[in-house]
A and B are shown apart, each in its own frame.
Chain A
């Protein structure tokens, strides 16, 4: 088991180098660099000064040299500073000689995105398991059909559209929820409890919208898994020996049907740090999606690479955790690994 773990972790190193190399080259395939943003078409900004900027950022060097420089920094866990004119550190805050702290870009954006995604996943899984179970028990009856219809409507509705409709009806017309942003004005003066309530109010719509599209997949997964297991002989045996239906469903069936969800959970770990650009723009939430999208448009290479690197590390870790969790939960697989 330990050998297996060490092997898997060691394998991650060449994989990471491969991923970063490919990302780095693909990123540079897109035409343009940081100097071709807005100021590129300002007649007051001369081409010489832009060339000078390119030299300052080493953008005039061959790509392989640039990659080497990047790799050299990254092994020291230095993600560098953004090319954008604020020069903020990509990952974590840095202190200058006077003790002033420049906050890191990912450091600021990640907690917000994580919070939203964790809430979303929690909701998706709990609602989906509930809906999937009901649908499986009432297979092909009206509740099953209604649930399928509902989750597919949720899946098919364009999120941005529904978001705008809800913002309008709940934020403008009825004013029960805030329209956009993370905090109300005057947030700093609120009590701790009021602050949490304020934050939750602001997060209600974004989380609801991102939940809606995720329900379909997971609930159908649960439903089909349940149906498959309900048809198996051991369930028949359980029923035959007169177990309560509740016990049959929740202990014997559900437990088995949930096993594959572990893989899905593991695979959703890297998704935790990715935000939706559209939702973040509409709701004015300064999360990872917008950060990444803007960095790509600006050709802000250190930020793009920073997010990609963290994303790939999390993907590889997520796979590993999923496999381990699977082994932990399912004795059949655990024995296979031990051999």
Chain B
């Protein structure tokens, strides 16, 4: 018994002091691109369904996106370029989009791709029997047709500016394989046939999804022969697999990025870190239908009392940015002329007093005998919880009594958000690529389950959002959304807290990754990535 315990302890202690397995490869040696090899990746969840319009989870879209194409896609600067379409034209009244499809391309099963496939996909996504939550954008198309096998025409009753974005996010499905299938539960969703770089090789339930190159890929052959995505739900386990060299890349968190890597030089010899603007932002939102949040001065006072820089440093270890409009910093739609509301206690007190609040004996602001107190609600998300705590502390300092409640997601949405029974929330929205924010800010979108649940209502903003949807001229559109961003920031119906960076760690044996990450993200050119032969794993399966 003694021996066993002693052995256990020794093995742990010695084990931890031991050096890393010596990896003698010098990954910085220059190499030339060569095809072949397998990239191993990890994901926290298993994809549901590889028909993205049905799936709705991010794991599914990530895998399906490598198998299917849309009509359009984003280039590295987030402009549009052709995917299945070679080119497209928009009519002068903005109501008709004509897509010229690529000719002589084939599905992975050698059947030709034609306009009928596009038409079929549009019919499916708008079919009331299809279990998709994404149909509404495509129902705006009043008529879709094929002029011939290579020209697809979508017509709208009203100009719809986000239309191009919607055609960049609809995966086109093969009609010949699906016309007699029930799209909701077809086997195709587990074993799809697409047109993009990769095709499904093998899917081991709960363990891994393996992709192989699609010989008929419409963009030619990628260099990496296989892509293996392992399903590892725990991020610490993923990280261990990464440093043990069993997976080649993963998304890491701020602690790993700015604490673990800098302190361990041996990791930096074999792993590169990449930082890019993330896809979402975190905000502090008010229920505008409840007092005292209907008062813009109170909202601004709270905004001045919150130190956003402190939150970014505390929660994200500095790996994020403040934003002033709901668009990715540095992209076209960001309104750069807005002045930030920065941490200013005296300004905050001034505004509170202007609204009639006075400090009471307990150092809490009160008005007509009612103290300024409320509850912040958030879901089980570590970063949001920490954010709420930092906000609570700052507001306590100034004299606002705040409590925090953390709730599981489904309960959070159904019990509090849908019923409007909340005072303030810490939540996130995505930083959309198209500037349209109609469903979040238009006053008509306040019903239960709709997204303007904070109850924002401003006729000018309504008009701007309506016009913005109809304006296809980018410059004019930019003016509209600049004004929209400015009004929202002036009124502070939500306080923008931060937009965090996406952090990716990629093993140095993966070559061809762009040193400077383009706006479209580090994965944008992954068809050019390669693994030099000498660095490949000994994989019998290849």
Q: Write the residues of chain A forming the contact surface with B, with a CB cutoff of 8 angstroms.
A: 30-33, 35-53, 56, 81, 84-87, 96, 98, 100-103, 108-109, 143, 146-147, 150, 164-165, 167-175, 178-183, 185-186, 188-190, 280-286, 290, 297, 299
Which of A36, A56, A100, A178 has a CB less than 8 Å from the CB of B191?
Answer: A100
Min distance, Cβ A16 to any Cβ of chain B, angstroms: 27
A188 to B54, CA, bound (A): 31
Measured between beta carbons, the chain A residues less than 8 angstroms from B49 are 85-87
Are the CB atoms of A103 and B137 closer together than 8 Å?
A: no
Instruction: Give the residues from 179 to 234 in chain B that come closer than 8 angstroms, CB to CB, to chain A.
Output: 184-187, 189-191, 204-208, 228, 230-234
> Which among B206, B244, B440 has the highest number of chain A CB atoms within 10 Å?
B206
B359 within 8 A of A: no
B5 within 8 A of A: yes
Are the CB atoms of A168 and B240 closer together than 8 Å?
A: yes
Question: Which range contains the number of B residues in contact with the other chain?
Answer: 35 or more
Are the CB atoms of A42 and B448 closer together than 8 Å?
A: no
B370 within 8 A of A: no
Q: Given A45-B56, A108-B205, is A185 in contact with B447 using a C-beta cutoff of 8 Å?
A: no
Q: Given A146-B2, A185-B537, A286-B205, is A52 in contact with B128 using a C-beta cutoff of 8 Å?
A: yes
Are the CB atoms of A31 and B237 closer together than 8 Å?
A: no
B426 within 8 A of A: no
Q: Given A52-B128, A284-B237, is A173 in contact with B18 using a C-beta cutoff of 8 Å?
A: yes
B516 within 8 A of A: no
Are the CB atoms of B241 and A84 closer together than 8 Å?
A: no
Are the CB atoms of A283 and B231 closer together than 8 Å?
A: no
Are the CB atoms of A49 and B136 closer together than 8 Å?
A: yes
Are the CB atoms of A32 and B411 closer together than 8 Å?
A: yes
Measured between beta carbons, the chain A residues less than 8 angstroms from B413 are 31-32, 36, 40-41
| Least CB separation from A287: chain B residue | B206
Instruction: Give the residues from 1 to 45 in chain B that come closer than 8 angstroms, CB to CB, to chain A.
Output: 1-2, 4-5, 11-12, 15-16, 18, 20-21, 38, 40
Are the CB atoms of A46 and B240 closer together than 8 Å?
A: no
Are the CB atoms of A43 and B451 closer together than 8 Å?
A: yes
A174 to B451, CA, bound (A): 51
Are the CB atoms of A281 and B410 closer together than 8 Å?
A: no
Report the tally of A-B residue pairs with Cβ distances under 8 A: 197
Which of A179, A185, A285, A290 has a CB less than 8 Å from the CB of B244?
Answer: A179
A257 to B397, CA, bound (A): 64
Measured between beta carbons, the chain B residues less than 8 angstroms from A285 are 206
Are the CB atoms of A173 and B15 closer together than 8 Å?
A: yes
Min distance, Cβ B207 to any Cβ of chain A, angstroms: 6
| Least CB separation from A105: chain B residue | B205
Min distance, Cβ B179 to any Cβ of chain A, angstroms: 13
Are the CB atoms of B58 and A38 closer together than 8 Å?
A: yes
Measured between beta carbons, the chain A residues less than 8 angstroms from B432 are 43
Min distance, Cβ A209 to any Cβ of chain B, angstroms: 13
Q: Given A186-B541, A281-B234, is A173 in contact with B16 using a C-beta cutoff of 8 Å?
A: yes
Are the CB atoms of A53 and B449 closer together than 8 Å?
A: no
Are the CB atoms of A180 and B237 closer together than 8 Å?
A: yes
15 more CB-based (< 8 A) A-B contacts, given A38-B58, A178-B246: A40-B413, A43-B439, A43-B451, A47-B449, A49-B132, A86-B49, A143-B1, A172-B244, A186-B539, A281-B234, A282-B234, A284-B233, A285-B206, A286-B207, A299-B410
A-B contact pairs, 11 of them (CB 8 A): A36-B414, A44-B133, A85-B48, A85-B49, A98-B187, A100-B187, A102-B190, A165-B12, A174-B21, A286-B206, A297-B408
Measured between beta carbons, the chain B residues less than 8 angstroms from A52 are 128, 131
A276 to B429, CA, bound (A): 33
Are the CB atoms of B241 and A180 closer together than 8 Å?
A: yes
Measured between beta carbons, the chain B residues less than 8 angstroms from A96 are 186-187
| Least CB separation from A109: chain B residue | B206
A41 to B428, CA, bound (A): 9
Are the CB atoms of A42 and B539 closer together than 8 Å?
A: no
Which of A31, A85, A102, A103 has a CB less than 8 Å from the CB of B415?
Answer: A31
Are the CB atoms of B228 and A185 closer together than 8 Å?
A: yes
Are the CB atoms of B409 and A283 closer together than 8 Å?
A: no
Binary A-proximity of B131-146 (CB < 8 A = 1, otherwise 0): 1111111000000000
Measured between beta carbons, the chain B residues less than 8 angstroms from A102 are 185, 187, 190
A46 to B447, CA, bound (A): 11
Min distance, Cβ B129 to any Cβ of chain A, angstroms: 8
B311 within 8 A of A: no
A42 to B279, CA, bound (A): 13
Are the CB atoms of A42 and B449 closer together than 8 Å?
A: no
Measured between beta carbons, the chain A residues less than 8 angstroms from B186 are 96
Are the CB atoms of B5 and A150 closer together than 8 Å?
A: yes
Min distance, Cβ A322 to any Cβ of chain B, angstroms: 32
Are the CB atoms of A86 and B48 closer together than 8 Å?
A: yes
Measured between beta carbons, the chain B residues less than 8 angstroms from A283 are 237
A281 to B233, CA, bound (A): 5
A37 to B414, CA, bound (A): 11
Min distance, Cβ A30 to any Cβ of chain B, angstroms: 7
Min distance, Cβ B180 to any Cβ of chain A, angstroms: 9
Binary A-proximity of B426-456 (CB < 8 A = 1, otherwise 0): 0001101000000110000001111100000
Measured between beta carbons, the chain A residues less than 8 angstroms from B540 are 186, 189-190
A100 to B246, CA, bound (A): 33
Are the CB atoms of B450 and A47 closer together than 8 Å?
A: yes
Binary A-proximity of B529-541 (CB < 8 A = 1, otherwise 0): 0000000010111
Are the CB atoms of B131 and A56 closer together than 8 Å?
A: yes
Which of A38, A281, A284 has a CB less than 8 Å from the CB of B56?
Answer: A38
A185 to B57, CA, bound (A): 26
Measured between beta carbons, the chain B residues less than 8 angstroms from A41 are 413, 451
A175 to B23, CA, bound (A): 13
Min distance, Cβ A142 to any Cβ of chain B, angstroms: 9
B236 within 8 A of A: yes
B302 within 8 A of A: no
A171 to B60, CA, bound (A): 29
Are the CB atoms of A45 and B133 closer together than 8 Å?
A: yes
- In the complex, the 4 A-B pairs of residues with the closest C-beta atoms, listed nearest first: A286-B206, A32-B410, A169-B15, A45-B133
A47 to B539, CA, bound (A): 47
